[in-house]
Structure 1
């Protein structure tokens, strides 16, 4: 389980851009089928992969269609300028 994704929707969230968006919350925590969202946007967790990948299905507002996804991608330790 990714240490980064463990923080999603928590008070220590390191994933969600809460400076620019309402906080993300889930009724039953980070688990398949949990419903939640941010602000007036609502969705359900429809896929999870060892917390390296999480996919949602929009449910509200009307007209929102799609499956947004968050992924953690490994980066090399090498920094280039």
Structure 2
């Protein structure tokens, strides 16, 4: 079982951080770093049942609470049995915990592709989402995520294609 958590305390009210979650997969997506990564796309508006993904990762929305939480169930790649979610939880009037959780039980080839390929890419992508959230809310801690050498190597074959989109 893989349980992967990334979170950041954002110096902004929960409704402002929740708006970032609500913008996912839209033309005005303010959370997903789509200039650097494959865009998150869905076959309709952000709602339960909407299906899509990013790059080779496929999923559909299983839960959605406006301004608070979105959860996706994986449908691909093969062997990714589980879900991932974004949640905004108010800590104080001007502080919100933005959390991404991934829970999968990898099977088949995913037992190898998750730790070697998908995990380093996932970790970098989600940290860049959290950096973007801080910038969007005007609360950057100043220390943006830096990609590891391994992540840079893994991204190299895809980087030009992402930049053209």
- Normalised by the size of structure 1, how large is the TM-score? 0.80
Matches within 5 A, 1:2-81: 2-74=18-90, 76=92, 77=94
How far apart, CA to CA, are the structure 2 residues paired with 1:33 and 1:46? 6
Q: How many residues align?
A: 80
* Aligned-CA RMSD value: 2.4
SS in 2 for 1:57: strand
Structure 2: 5+ residue stretches without partners? 1-14, 96-138, 140-165
Change (3 A) 1:4 1:57: same
SS in 1 for 2:33: coil
Higher helix share: 2
Which protein has the larger Cα radius of gyration, Structure 1 or Structure 2?
2
Structure 1: 5+ residue stretches without partners? none
**Greater RCO between the two (CA within 8 Å, min separation 6)?**
2
How far apart, CA to CA, are the structure 1 residues paired with 2:32 and 2:53? 11
